[in-house]
Structure 1
Amino acid sequence: MKTIGNFIKACPRAFLFTALFPFIASHSAALATKFVPANHPHIQYWGRWDLSDSLHAKHSWPGVALYAEFSGTSIGVRMADNGNYYNVYLDGTLHHIFHGTAAEESDYLLVDSLKAGKHTLLLTKRNCAQNKIYSFSGFLLDEGAQLLPPASAMKTHKIEFIGDSFTVAEGNEATVLSMPWEETFPVTNLDKGFAVIVARHFNAQYHITARSGIGMVTDWSGDHTLNMPDRFDRALMDAPEPKWDFQRWAPELVVICLGLNDYSGLKDQAGNVSGENSTLYRKRYHEFLATIRRAYPGVNILAGMMSVSLASAIFILRSSIIFRMDMWRTDIPMWPHMKKLRGN
């Protein structure tokens, strides 16, 4: 178990912000007093959000973001979330990392002392928290300020990334090799993960349908209830209802990066995967591909491992052709554990 000293050493920026933030938040009401509700038409929601309650937008999948353009000298946020960390981009530049301090709905100041005029705000969730639902209720502006119509439309290209901790970039800013899972939250930055890098490269919208530790059949510990096919149709990662409306957002490309946790969960003590489990894995994978095709008719699918996904996804969109990696072919180099999963 890491000591607090080790935690500070591993993520000094996140710790410093967490330590100072209660002071900043306590002044939010005085600095930003006009409330703009979550259903305002000028707010852009990126990623999988549950908008069934238009005044309290809920989320739990990673990769969600909020974008708004506003007038005035400050902006704050009203949300119920003390589990996630957010990158705050002001006028296109990273301003700071934000972390809420209360599980219940609370007001927070994000930025103040701005030059009067038009500004942009992008709030992106950095990490992947589990088994909780978080909500956003609206923005806080100066009296007399307002949200403005976005200057440009949403990006045209769309990519969905389906995966595990590699897809969510878990711990990618850590300076130590291992730490308790909760301590990875401040040092996870999805904006620097391969999924967002690919999307940014092609100026594409993205959805991150991923969960740390999950697999196609089982999670890393062998829990068969924690698999991606059973969660793919959910608006909220760990809640069976409501279902996600696949008509809301249809990608051109789906990138699947699953298998590492299946090997961990399906292997025996000697590190071998039985023929029965190998068959189960292959069957579940093909069934999931069929599910994706039903959800997104005609979509391009890249099914592979984390190590090939970045280069392959770039190749697909750049060359405008469909590239299929058949994970059961014997002439394609594969990691040893993937050979065991496929049964040879």
Structure 2
Amino acid sequence: MDIRTGRRMLMLAISLAATGADDRPDLPPGITAVAAGLPAGRPLSLRVGGRVVAEGAGFRRQWPGSYAEARFHGPAVSLAVGPGDVSLRVTIDGNPPLALVRPAPGLYRIATPGERDHDIRIQVVSESQAGATSIAGLYAPVGTTPLAPPPPRTRQIEFIGDSHTVGYGNTSARNDCTQDQVWATTDTAQGPAGTLAAHYGADYQVDAISGRGIVRNYDGFAAPTVPQAYPFALLDGKTPDRTAGWRPQLVVIGLGTNDFSTKLKPGERWTTREALHADYERGYVAFVRQLRRRYPGAFVLLWATDLADGEIAREAERVAAALRRDGDRRVAFVPVAGLRFAGCHSHPDVADDRAIAAALGKVIDAQPDVWPIRR
């Protein structure tokens, strides 16, 4: 069977055991709803990327960019999806991903081309600020045998940021978007995090929230900033982070757009722009030092675009300089200029995301020891 035939078979072979027995017009071609009640089968062992909370055979998550990988032998596998709005991409054996957008809670049966060993990846590409969602597990139906999951990748990258890191509306062909359109066109896997991680063959974790900053959120709205939300596994400010085995060699941070892209308003705690600058610099330095205690050997890469007449980039560069003056030699700053901002609400689009990843990669490749050999 050639690759094109396998892809066509895969496109025609996803069926859903969920709430209804009729074809659902909201599902894309190749995905059909069938009667509920199919047995799930034996659970597959998952290798999970991103910040999640283990739950039964699956996990609950809210930070973007989470993914699960597994292996099995046989003609089909079943994916159990819990409640909550989520956009998923299902990749089998490296073929182009198939979209499950806002799937109803239930069991999705995925038939595969060829009764042989298969690799599957379930990737969350949407943002979930409104609430946590869950992947309830992958299962082997009758005729399928679970296999050991793929081993962790040698390289690990952690991305911390705002909507630019999330990939907010990056697949949109227009700037003017409704909130539903933003949600539908956000693809973290095609954002700078997913793009750079794929380039280096790395596992990755995305700690990013649209609209949030280091000390100030967009237009001064009240909500936890990224450093305040960072310690927790969910965006509830209370669920402890128990991520094990995560030791990134590289931490990439893009924060400051929301701190500086809007004017200060009456009632905010900064009376001048200079006071905001000083607070941002102190807060950013303290946050990087916190990360340094967590990941002592990691290389830390700060980046910023040239928005706000260069104010964001100037401030982020000052933070990197302050850290180096304090003796941290494993830190660098990357300015990113010349983006189109053709995505939703003048955000980077996929072409911009590739340009961001390329700019970061150029600096990463210039460092002699970002990827030390682990023993």
User: Do both share a fold (TM > 0.5)?
Assistant: yes
Matches within 5 A, 1:205-220: 205-220=203-218
Deviation of 1:55 (Å): 3.9
* Unmatched segments (≥5 aa) in structure 1: 1-15, 324-344
Matches within 5 A, 1:168-183: 168-183=166-181
Deviation of 1:266 (Å): 5.6
Deviation of 1:118 (Å): 1.7
Task: Show the counterpart of 1:107.
Answer: 107
Residue identity in the other structure for 1:245: R
1: CA distance, partners of 2:71 / 2:36: 19
* Unmatched segments (≥5 aa) in structure 2: 1-22, 306-334, 337-355, 371-375
Task: Show the counterpart of 2:42.
Answer: 36
Runs of 4+ residues over 6 Å off in structure 1: none
- Indicate if the aligned counterparts of 1:66 and 1:122 stay in contact, CA closer than 8 A: yes
Deviation of 1:160 (Å): 0.7
Deviation of 1:21 (Å): 6.1
Give the counterpart of 1:235 among 233, 236, 250: 233
Residue identity in the other structure for 1:47: G
2: CA distance, partners of 1:137 / 1:43: 11
Distance verdict in 2 for CA 1:277–1:266, change over 3 Å: farther
Name the SS for the 2:42 alignment partner: strand
1: CA distance, partners of 2:157 / 2:103: 32
Deviation of 1:265 (Å): 5.2
Q: Aligned residue pairs: how many? A: 295
Residue identity in the other structure for 2:215: V
1: CA distance, partners of 2:216 / 2:25: 35
Matches within 5 A, 1:76-225: 76-102=78-104, 105-109=105-109, 111-112=110-111, 114-150=113-149, 152-225=150-223
Name the SS for the 2:98 alignment partner: strand
1:48 matched to 2:56: no
Name the SS for the 2:108 alignment partner: strand
- Indicate if the aligned counterparts of 1:84 and 1:99 stay in contact, CA closer than 8 A: yes
Deviation of 1:127 (Å): 1.6
Matches within 5 A, 1:319-330: 319-321=366-368
Distance verdict in 2 for CA 1:264–1:226, change over 3 Å: farther
Deviation of 1:170 (Å): 1.1
Residue identity in the other structure for 2:261: S
Residue identity in the other structure for 1:239: D
Identity across matched positions, percent: 25
- Indicate if the aligned counterparts of 2:82 and 2:106 stay in contact, CA closer than 8 A: yes
Query: TM-score w.r.t. structure 2 length?
Result: 0.71
Task: Show the counterpart of 1:336.
Answer: none
Give the counterpart of 1:248 among 239, 245, 263: 245
Q: Deviations over 1:97-154 (max 9, x none)?
A: 012443xx52223x2263222211111111212130111222233313122123x522
Residues 17-26 or 77-86, more deviating = 17-26
Q: Deviations over 1:187-229 (max 9, x none)?
A: 1222221211111111111111101111111221313433011
Query: TM-score w.r.t. structure 1 length?
Result: 0.77
Task: Show the counterpart of 2:65.
Answer: 63
